[in-house]
Amino acid sequence: MPDRGGGPTGPRIRVGRPSRRVRTLLMTLGVLAVLGMAFTMFAGFWTDWLWYRSVKYSSVFTTTLSTKIGLFFVFGLLMAAAVGFNIWLAHLLRPPLSAMSMEQQSLDRYRMGIAPYKRWLLCGITALVGLIAGASASSQWRTWLMWVNGVPFGKQDPQFHLDVSFYAFDLPWYRFLLGFGFAAAILSLIAAALTHYLYGGLRITSPGARATAAATGHLSVLLGVFVALKAVAYWLDRYGLAVKSSDFKATGNWTGLRYVDANAYLPAKTILFCIAVICALLFFATLWRRTWQLPVIGFGLMVLSAILIGGLYPAIVQKFQVQPNEQAKEAPYVAKNIKATREAYGIDDAKVSEYAGKSDTKDKSKLRNDVGSAASIRILDPNIVSPTFQQLQQMRNYYAFPNNLDVDRYTKDGKVQDTVVGLRELNLAGIPKKNWINNHFRYTHGYGVVAAKGTEADPNGQPVFTESDLPSTGQLGTYQQRIYYGEKTTTYSIVGGPQKEIDYSDDSGEKTTSYQGRSGVNLASPLNRAAYAVAFGEPQILYSGAIGEGSRILYNRTPKERVEAVAPWLTIDGDAYPAVVDGRIQWIVDAYTTTNGYPYASRTTLGATTADSLTYNNNQRAVMAQQNQVNYIRNSVKATVDAYTGQVRLYQWDSQDPVLKTWMKAFPGTVKPKSDISPELMAHLRYPQDLFKVQRELLTRYHVQDAQTFLSGSEVWQVPDDPTNKSGNAVPPYYLTMKMPDQTSQAFSLTTTFTPNGRDNLSAFMAVDSQAGTSDYGQIRILKLPTSRTVDGPKQVQSQFNSNSQQNIAEFVRLIRGGDSEIEYGNLLTVPLDGGLLYVEPVYVRGGGLKYPLLRKVLVTYGGSTAFEDTLDEALNKVFGAAGSTTPPNTGTGNPPTSGNPTVQQALKDAQKAFDDGQAALKKSDWQAYGQAQKDLQDALKRAEAAQSQADRTSGGNGKNGGNGKNGGNGKNGDNKVGASPSSSAGPTPGKSPSSSPGSTPSSSPSSSPNSG
């Protein structure tokens, strides 16, 4: 026996099998690892099933899962059978091994090595290719469901006269089958060739015949199948031309046939189809001829034809027929593209009318009076005032508002009011002590709606709240205020168990609650707890004593996330917005059905088309499917998510959309009919922003319907950059209640502007009726400005604002910024008025100490005249040189003080004097005097508040919600926060215009100001 391990005199080292204990330990560890991996996979599946069952959309889960499993097994088995059969057949057709060449002798050891494992090797190879093919096929579940449930569009393409559903639903599935067939043929060919080579059917270096007759016949058939599939591909490519994307200098991203496609590529594909069929037959003929001479010649002819007919000939046609007379040649095809694109994006009924761009009316007082009927001008910018809501209405650090608030409409005393709305959502970053119990058991929900009038601000530049405080009170009445599901709620919570939740805090202390809803998944079962402990990577879920009978776990809590989960076939709009409906806070989510298979309609990428200055660095406002390329879109579904229960409802909004009908067949019962939408909910539904942005981007080119003009490019527009934002991104669309020239009354609208390509002057103004339930809902109106003269566009108007010396705008900006404060420009609103265009822009000041913006000035321009005043009415009066009123009296939320109270009167006089002193100091840049004036102003306002409160108590006046009470201008959220920095009162300070009318003169203000404090 040789010595193992030791030297001649060293110890012997015995190498043997591991001990039984070690083997048992290793086996146990292996079993545990397998079980752990299996349970991890099971946990993901089980928690998904529990969640879908909890939201009552289990049919979506089962339909999707069964479709994926079915496709996996069917196509996995087909691929495994195809490859396995050809390996077995090649082995069966192997030649007898007699005289061995050197090549075969070198392969013999491989044959001998795999001989004992041939069956296992065959099973392993087929299983591997089957798993890969099955996994690839399962990802095509949407393609399968759309093909098997497809509904006709009722419209035909102009080239082949096939229903659009063929391109949207059928062609993608046929292409998948074709790709699968190519993969199966290629893998089978490779596997068969390797097997023939291994067993001598194919020889590379051996003398004599390179292939046996059996190998020749086998491989020829596989090559024939491949070429036959190529023939099918050529035939489908003919129809694919109708949805083919290409670059076209006249339109950019072009979809559909052009002249060269119809007159060169289309006949070329037909010819290549015929050649491929003949070539495939030649390959099949080798079963009898046993020679590759003719098939190789045929294949070479096919390749040469593909180069000459499929490549060179179209290039010649393009060069010598199209380019010399491009407009004449391409015009008929451009006309088809224009028609299809306008239909596919729902812009075919857009009304384009000429608009003068300037007014011929000489009566300025009439123009001034017409402003009120032209628009309810919103001066509260929802994209600016979130920090103001945060400062005045946050109440606790563990609450927060979204960065961009929403605009909605509410009715009070029969009058509809544009309202800026935000929810006081949970903010875990602000909880006083972070630990697992606090993060997931104690702090679980937000509380209450905060709303303010969109067309008003109080004399201190603060919002006029119509719903405020904690718990929220105001015009919205009684509703469930707890917010368990919201845009900022991205982590899980465990509710309903022994651990009490923090509800809210008030002057009497902390209030607690326990969730009473049926949302979420019950954690009473040990299996459920174990599954969630694994799925969330949190072992405490398994053994924590804070979880008991009735505990439920809430997750997938953002509205868009929930809608996308229950309807994975929808594309979700970037802006979910809240509304109080029937005593509940409902998140309203717009959802789209899309396809990229609409013939002749140009494609667009959703992420690029819907990007603007608001989505820049704000993913919460971005459309969910950023990379999706579509050429058909419909806002076919309106969805709601209950902020308390998380219940998701899907409503059919577009009853004519064939894509939605297809998905409703695939997932029956998931979408409710439009008739189920209550009148209360209908009042809050609106036209979605992302659809509007897609449509406006297409209308920069497709507002032109004449093919020759379209090709010339002379009428191309662009969406201007946001003039109030330096990000270089497009200006966002704005909701505004306004009246277009052909309308008899104001309508809630979504508006935008256009400029000529590469220019800054205005070329068009666009608005769409956005109030659901009206006969004109979705009607697009475009006012086209004359091209013979220039009309100032948004960027030019903003530049004029910034450089205007007559209105002391530049000086105001310089002084504010010199005092460590910031100027923030609000939305630049455009309003058509008597042939001209009225621009209105609120100007906010964010003080260095306050950290939140207050409305200080309003910029207005019309017909070349500009005003920069403290209030909208003052600015309008100055622009038109006539008095009037466009807003209701600026009385905040309270009642006016008793005008006969001498203490109040004196305090208001002192406030007026302090304000005047502050303004004088501001003009001299005397910041010390300005600070003293602000202190005097604050003291005077406090005295006025105290005196008014005493008067209210004596007369039984303003209670909690009164003008000077908790929600009033001088209460907890009122003006006592003003005056912290020199910038805080720059502009419309309390005494400047505290009268009941924003346009009144300062001299009348002390006696009539309800909220001058």
pTM of the model: 0.82
What pLDDT, on a 0 to 100 scale, did the predictor assign at position 250? 59
Q: Is residue 552 scored above 50 in pLDDT? A: yes
The top-scoring range by mean pLDDT among 229-233, 842-846, 920-924, 985-989 is 229-233
Please tell me which residue, 45 or 202, carries the higher pLDDT value.
45
pLDDT at res. 378: 92
Q: What is the pLDDT of residue 101?
A: 62
Strands 463-468 and 473-474: antiparallel
Paired residues of 299 in beta bridges: none
**Number of other residues whose CB lies within 10 A of the CB of residue 56:** 13
What is the reported pLDDT for 245?
86
Does position 892 have pLDDT exceeding 50, yes or no?
A: no
pLDDT confidence of residue 986 = 35
286-299 mean pLDDT: 79
pLDDT of residue 891: 33
Does residue 699 have a pLDDT over 60?
yes
**Residue with more model confidence, 820 or 141:** 141
Q: Backbone dihedral region of 925: left (phi > 0), alpha (psi from -120 to 50 degrees) or beta?
A: left
| Lowest mean pLDDT across 58-67, 207-216, 860-869 | 207-216
Task: For residues 80 and 150, give the distance between their C-alpha atoms in angstroms, rounded to a whole number.
Answer: 30
Distance CA 339, CA 348 (A): 8
Determine what percent of the chain is predicted with pLDDT higher than 70: 83
pLDDT at site 957: 39
Angle at 236 between CA 170 and CA 166, to 5 degrees: 25
**C-alpha pair distances (Å), 258 with each of 172, 321, 445, 666:** 22, 13, 57, 36
Strand partners for 958: none
Compute the C-alpha angle 487/491/494, nearest 5°: 120
Strand 780-784 relative to strand 351-354: parallel, antiparallel, unpaired? parallel
Report the C-alpha gap between 418 and 408 in whole angstroms. 6
pLDDT of residue 999: 34
Calculate mean pLDDT across residues 906-920. Answer: 71
Angle between helices 526-535 and 20-54 (to 10 degrees): 100
- In sign, the C-alpha dihedral spanning 419, 423, 429, 430 is positive
Specify whether the CB–CB gap between 554 and 532 falls below 8 A. no
Contact by Cβ (8 Å): 822, 846? yes
- Residue 510 predicted with pLDDT over 80: yes
Residue percentage of the chain with pLDDT more than 90: 52
The DSSP line for 882-908 is: S---SS----TTSPPP-TT-HHHHHHH
Q: Is the torsion defined by CA of 677, 679, 680, 681 positive or negative? A: positive
pLDDT of residue 302: 86
Asked whether residue 985 carries a pLDDT value surpassing 50, the answer given is no
- The answer for residues whose C-beta is within 8 angstroms of residue 731's C-beta and 6 or more apart is 612, 613, 719, 720, 721, 722, 723, 752, 753, 794, 828
Band of pLDDT at residue 16, cut at 50, 70 and 90? low
**Lowest pLDDT segment from 134-148, 597-611, 797-811:** 797-811
Looking at residue 893, its pLDDT comes to: 33
- Round to whole Å and give the CA distance between 260 and 315: 8
Say whether 410 sits in a helix, a strand or coil: strand
Max mean pLDDT among 23-32, 700-709, 996-1005 falls in 700-709
Whether residue 124 is predicted with pLDDT greater than 70 in this model: the reply is yes
Name the pLDDT band for 940 (thresholds 50, 70, 90): confident
User: 536 pLDDT band (50/70/90 cuts)?
Assistant: very high
For 963-975, what is the mean pLDDT? 38
- Which residues are CB-contacts of 763 (< 8 A; sequence separation ≥ 6)? 717, 754, 755, 756, 784, 785, 787, 793
Query: Can you give the pLDDT at residue 921?
Result: 67
Q: Which long-range contacts (CB under 8 A, 24 or more apart) does 607-611 make?
A: 609/693, 609/694, 609/697, 610/574, 610/689, 610/690, 610/693, 610/694, 611/729, 611/730
Three-state DSSP class for residue 364: helix
What does the mean pLDDT of the chain come to? Answer: 83
Give yes or no for residue 394 having a pLDDT over 70. yes
| Helices and strands counted in the chain (H then E) | 29, 35
Cis omega before residue 471 (within 30°)? yes
Query: What's the rounded Cα separation, in Å, for the pair 45 and 888?
Result: 58
The predicted pLDDT at position 93 comes to 87
pLDDT surpassing 50 at residue 966 = no
Q: How far is CA 584 from CA 489, 635, 678, 983, in A?
A: 18, 24, 13, 40
Distances from the Cα of 589 to the Cα of 579, 636, 639, angstroms = 11, 12, 5
Taking 80 as the threshold, does the pLDDT of residue 166 lie above it?
yes
Q: What is the pLDDT of residues 803-822, one digit of tens each?
A: 776 667 777 777 777 667 78
pLDDT for the residue 849:
67
* Model pLDDT for residues 555-593, shown as the tens digit of each residue: 999 999 999 999 999 999 999 999 999 999 999 999 999
The model's pLDDT over 204-248, given as tens digits with 9 standing for 90+, comes to 766 556 778 888 889 999 999 999 999 999 999 999 999 998 877
Predicted confidence at residue 18, as pLDDT, reads 67
Read off the pLDDT of each residue in 820-848 and give the average, rounded to a whole number: 89
Q: Quote the distance between the C-alpha of residue 64 and its chain's center.
A: 23
What pLDDT, in 10s, does the model give residues 455-508?
999 888 899 999 999 899 999 999 999 999 999 999 999 999 888 999 988 878
Q: How confident is the model at residue 97 (pLDDT cuts 50, 70, 90)?
A: low
Rounded to an integer, the average pLDDT of 309-325 is 89
pLDDT value for 724: 83
Reported as a single tens digit per residue, the pLDDT across 727-784 is 778 899 999 999 999 998 999 999 999 999 888 899 999 999 999 988 899 999 999 9
Strands (E), 172-244: none
